[in-house]
Amino acid sequence: MVGALSNSKLALKGQIEVVLCIVLNPAVFVGWKPDWDKLMKEFEGSSSVLIADVDCTAGGQSKCEEVGIRGYPSIKYGDPDDLQDYNGGRSFSDLQKFAKGLGPVCSPANKDLCDDEKKKMLEEFMALDASKRESMIKEKEKDITKLESDFKEFVEGLQKQYQEASDKKDKDVEAVKSSGLGLLKSVHSYSKKQKGEL
């Protein structure tokens, strides 16, 4: 399967086991488009891997929010319900190599691919009723939102401190310069020239 990532395509969970998608703003995607289109074409016959793109400025906005997109372009991969950040190379050959290595991952449909710890978690989660799982998902997503908000606040505080320190430095440098530094340099240079003429 190939094309724009949407909830309808992700609904094919029985068929699509792994997704590699680029999340984008079309304005910054121009340079990547030929390579990405080539990669999508290469995998268009796959019954288990979906290579897709999502336009966060249009119909894909809700999907972008759902998977926690914070910048463009972002590349995500993995189980359609649990996409992970891709941090590898971004050349066509890097992406092609990575995509070829994609395969089924630990999930309820592929328990045999899970280590013992993940199998235990799967069993615990599957034993819960749907409303409890939904409540837990919301709580964990709320925790992530709080962590991201705290981080943003921290960074904004650092930026404010940086700006204040930069402004103070500029003001202090200007004060030193206006306290006679220019005249002092001029007198010093003039004096050296006068001595040289003697």
The pTM of this model reads: 0.58
Q: What per-residue confidence (pLDDT) applies to 195?
A: 82
Query: To which residue do tokens 């709080």 refer?
Result: 146
Short-list 172, 18, 137, 38, CA closest to 96: 38
Distance CA 72, CA 69 (A): 8
Reported as a single tens digit per residue, the pLDDT across 153-190 is 999 999 999 999 999 999 999 999 999 998 999 999 99
Distance CA 61, CA 65 (A): 6
Beta carbons of 32 and 92 less than 8 angstroms apart:
no
Q: What is the CA radius of gyration of the chain?
A: 28
Of 193 and 15, more confident: 193
Compute the average pLDDT of residues 60-85.
77
Q: What per-residue confidence (pLDDT) applies to 20?
A: 66
- Domain boundaries in the chain? 2-105
Reported as a single tens digit per residue, the pLDDT across 77-89 is 887 777 888 888 8
CA 188 vs. chain centroid, Å, equals 56
Beta carbons of 96 and 107 less than 8 angstroms apart:
no
Would you list the DSSP string of 1-14? -EEE--HHHHT-TT
Range in 59-68, 100-109, 156-165 the model is least confident about: 59-68
Is residue 69 pLDDT above 50, yes or no?
Answer: yes
Compute the average pLDDT of residues 116-131.
96
Short-list 76, 58, 98, CA closest to 10: 76
Distance CA 114, CA 79 (A): 13
Q: 105, exposed or middle or buried, with CB in 10 Å at 0-12, 13-18, 19+?
A: middle
Reported as a single tens digit per residue, the pLDDT across 9-61 is 443 344 445 666 665 555 556 677 788 888 888 888 887 778 887 777 777 67
Q: What per-residue confidence (pLDDT) applies to 3?
A: 40
Domain at 2-105, CATH class: alpha beta
Distance CA 98, CA 36 (A): 13
